[in-house]
Amino acid sequence: MTQMRTVDAAVLILEKEGATEAFGLPGAAINPFYSAMRAHGGIRHTLARHVEGASHMADGYSRSAAGNIGLCLGTSGPAGTDMITGLYAAFADSIPILCITGQAPVAKLHKEDFQAVDIESIAKPLTKMAVTVMEPGQVPGTFQKAFQLMRSGRPGPVLIDLPIDVQQAVIEFDIEAYEPLAVEKPRATRRQAEKILDLLSASEHPVIVAGGGIINADASAQLVELAELLNVPVIPTLMGWGTIPDDHRLMAGMVGLQTHHRYGNANFLDSDFVLGLGNRWANRHTGGLDTYTAGRTFVHVDIEPTQIGRVFSPHFGVVSDAKAALEILIEVAAERQAAGSLKDYSGWADVTTARKGEGHRKTNFDNIPIKPQRVYQEMNAAFGPDTTYVSTIGLSQIAGAQMLHVYGPRRWINAGQAGPLGWTGPAALGVVRGKPGETVVALSGDYDFQFMLEELAVGAQFKLPYIHVVVNNSYLGLIRQAQRGFEMDYHVQLGFENINSPETNGYGVDHVKVAEGLGCKAVRVEDPADLAAGFARAGALAAEHQVPVVVEVILERVTNISMGTELDNINEFEDLALVAADAPTAITPLTVATVNA
């Protein structure tokens, strides 16, 4: 055995568990931990400008590759409270991050000491575990338990709070004898797989709803294999986008009130059986449950038992890791195919594929100021299938999800349920850490961008190149659109006459100057004909200077993006024509008779 400080033991455990990418800010109460990182040298640290930004960087890093667990570090008091939004975003989307905070000495926790806050109680509702470690000897076991929890069942974040005297206490510890705890993941049985396939085979129009749990389980290849084996169309959720490539014949489109494809909603409304894998039936995916569930049989497979029946009761529920469920489903389906007892869904699959050519929303606008739809058309042309997109919330994200193309898992990285403004930029920096050398493109509206734009300096300092597309209408666009129901346009306009930048023409903040002042490069585009050149220029600048590059696109002030109240009640807005002049205003689901004709 070896005597060492608890923080030395903790850092050695982080290295052995493979959590070696940290984002944070040092401070008095966490300095002992930083001294241990400096002494051992196995953890790379990125200095953030705001602790919330550091938490989103850790989140983005965790989402960027299977098995990643990003670390977020901060001192006592406000550092921990600054992490709460990051913990919420990670918890809501089942993302493992480990937040470590400093704390006042144990003896002073009840004395209202400087920057002493009960962060354990604050963080508990948003974590799988939040704990203030009072006894030095419990530090190794607490970190060991944290990694087991983050990796077991439904993934999620953990917060460990370390009083400064506990950090500096000396304990006996042998890292060579340390072993990670076994990870617990439920597995679907053969009998359950047989029942799922029996229920599916009783239907005429089955679909698979592929959720983010498939990405968490690193099971996208198995999803595609099962879909091809069954010849059953796949509808990815927003968090599952990329589990099947957009250009795959069985990719039947996304479904929802906002982030959806028109053909996706039509295909779902025509279905009669739904196999949900690793999804949670989010309300912006389902819309009204009466419409969503009517006439359909549902099977729900999820790793977390309490998710089954949380939103509505399925006809059959299975608690299982997504990869384990897919593997046994593939095994049973392959046996049935060999026996000639697998039902042929090729006609139904052909119908869903054909719908991809119907009723697309128009993107080829030449207007000045630029219509946002044209931006996404040009992004599809400029950025290849290996691009990773990062976004969070707003009309920019909704329109992007309707019009961009994604070709693989972890190529669309989105704070789905929490949707915190400001998440995009720091998360993109974490993604760049997790995907060095790859093309990363962030997408923000001007307000999301302004929330945490100071983190651009982190990208400049640490040479983290990515392209940040900022679609600027100088408006809180999504809130403005929602205010239409109240017949108001109240405190959602961001424009003003900038006395230092008259060239912004009343749009207010000069994002180009701000980006350049933070050590980055920037390009402003005001004519749609210049978008392709602007994106190419941004790519060249990022490669040359190894810094973030902002592409600010000046949009028309008001554009209503397609969305609605039900899957069959999407407002397409008459001012945005469809591609074909004679295209229908709504896609009518085909009948069984039509499919079988």
User: SS3 string of 75-102?
Assistant: CCCHHHHHCHHHHHHHHHCCCCEEEEEE
Q: Are residues 246 and 311 in the same domain?
A: yes
Structure tokens at 578: 């469809």
Is the domain of 377 the same as that of 516? yes
Question: What's the average model confidence in pLDDT over 286-291?
Answer: 94
Average pLDDT of 433-446? 96
Three-state SS letters, 273-338: EEEEECCCCCHHHHCCHHHHHCCCEEEEEECCHHHCCCCCCCCEEEECCHHHHHHHHHHHHHHHHH
- Specify if 366 maps to a domain: no
In a domain? residue 495: yes
Ranking 108-112, 253-257, 271-275, 296-300 by mean pLDDT, the lowest is 108-112
Rounded to 5°, angle at Cα 87 from 217 and 451? 115
Same domain, 260 and 336: yes
Residue with tokens 């006609």: 347
* C-alpha 75, offset from chain centre: 27
Beta bridge partner(s), residue 275: 208, 299
User: What is the average pLDDT value for the chain, to the nearest integer?
Assistant: 92
Contact (Cβ atoms closer than 8 angstroms) between residue 426 and residue 48: yes
Same domain as 195, residue 83: no
Q: How would you classify the pairing of strands 563-566 and 569-571?
A: antiparallel
Q: List the structure tokens of 227.
A: 């879909």
For 477, phi then psi, to 5°, come to -60, -45
**Is residue 551 classed as helix, strand or coil in its secondary structure?**
strand
pLDDT one-digit tens code per residue, 121-140 = 999 999 999 999 999 999 99
pLDDT of 574: 57
Distance CA 231, CA 15 (A): 44
Order the strands of the 129-132 sheet from edge to edge.
44-47, 21-24, 70-74, 97-103, 158-163, 129-132
Same domain, 337 and 465: no
My answer on whether 379 and 478 are in the same domain is: yes
Contact 163, 103 (CB under 8 A): yes
Q: Is the pLDDT of residue 593 over 50?
A: no
Q: Is 15's pLDDT higher than 50?
A: yes
Domain end (from 332, 357, 382): 357
CA dist 502 and 94 (Å) reads: 45
Is residue 471 within a helix (H) or strand (E), and if so which, with residue range?
Answer: strand 467-472
At 539-549, the pLDDT tens digits run 999 999 999 99
357: amino acid identity, one letter: G
The residue among 143, 177, 211 that closes a domain is 177
Q: Which of 132, 148, 177 is a domain's end point?
A: 177
Position 270 confidence tier, pLDDT thresholds 50, 70, 90: very high
In a domain, 90, yes or no: yes
**Across 50-56, average pLDDT:** 97
- Mean pLDDT confidence for 158-165: 98
Q: pLDDT class for 489, splitting at 50, 70, 90? A: confident
CATH number at residue 251: 3.40.50.1220
Mean pLDDT of 302-322: 97
444 strand-pairing partners: 470
Return the closest-CA partner of residue 25 out of 372, 535, 426, 588. 426
Contact in structure between 396 and 492 (CB atoms under 8 Å):
no
As a whole number of angstroms, the distance between CA 95 and CA 72 comes to 13
Amino acid type, 200: L
- Whether residue 25 sits in one domain with residue 76: yes
For the domain that residue 495 is a member of, what is the CATH number?
3.40.50.970
User: Could you tell me if 321 and 388 lie in one domain?
Assistant: no
Q: Same structural domain for residues 408 and 546? A: yes
Give the residue with greater pLDDT, 435 vs 595. 435
Across the strands, what pairs with 273? 206, 297
Mean pLDDT of 389-409: 93
Confidence of residue 580 (pLDDT cuts 50, 70, 90): very low
Residue 377 lies in a domain: yes
Average pLDDT estimate for 52-65: 97
Expressed as residue numbers, the domain containing 294 is 190-357
Over range 162-172, report the average pLDDT: 97
How wide is the angle at C-alpha 246 spanned by C-alphas 243 and 250, nearest 5°? 80
Say how many Å lie between the first and final Cα of the chain, rounded.
76
Phi, psi for 433 (deg, rounded to 5)? -60, -40
- Taking the C-alpha atoms of residue 481 and residue 395, their distance in angstroms, rounded to an integer, is 9
Task: Give the 3-state secondary structure of residue 203.
Answer: coil
Cβ-based neighbours of 581, under 8 Å, separated by 6 or more: none
Mean per-residue pLDDT for 409-427? 93
Q: Is 565 domain-assigned?
A: no
Residues 148 and 196 in one domain: no
What the block records as the tokens of 155 is 């993934």
44/432 Cα distance (integer angstroms): 14
Total structural domains in the chain?
3
Find out whether 567 and 287 touch, Cβ atoms under 8 Å: yes
Q: In this structure, are residues 466 and 429 in contact, taking their beta carbons and an 8 Å threshold?
A: yes
Q: Are residues 169 and 211 in the same domain?
A: no
Give 93's pLDDT tier (boundaries 50, 70, 90): very high
pLDDT exceeds cutoff 50 at 467: yes
Judged against a pLDDT cut of 80, whether residue 115 lies above it is answered with no
In one letter, which amino acid is 530?
D
- Is residue 149 situated within a structural domain? yes
- Report the C-alpha gap between 210 and 244 in whole angstroms: 9
Tell me how far apart the alpha carbons of residues 175 and 144 are, in angstroms, rounded to a whole number. Answer: 12
C-alpha dihedral, 209 to 325 to 434 to 88, nearest 10°: 70
Judge whether 559 lies within some domain: no
pLDDT(156) > 70: yes
Phi then psi for 401, rounded to 5 degrees? Answer: -70, -25
Residue 578 lies in a domain: no
**H-helix or E-strand containing 35?**
helix 31-40
**Are residue 336 and residue 200 in the same domain, yes or no?**
yes
Q: For residues 146 and 114, what is the distance between their CA atoms, to the nearest angstrom? A: 28
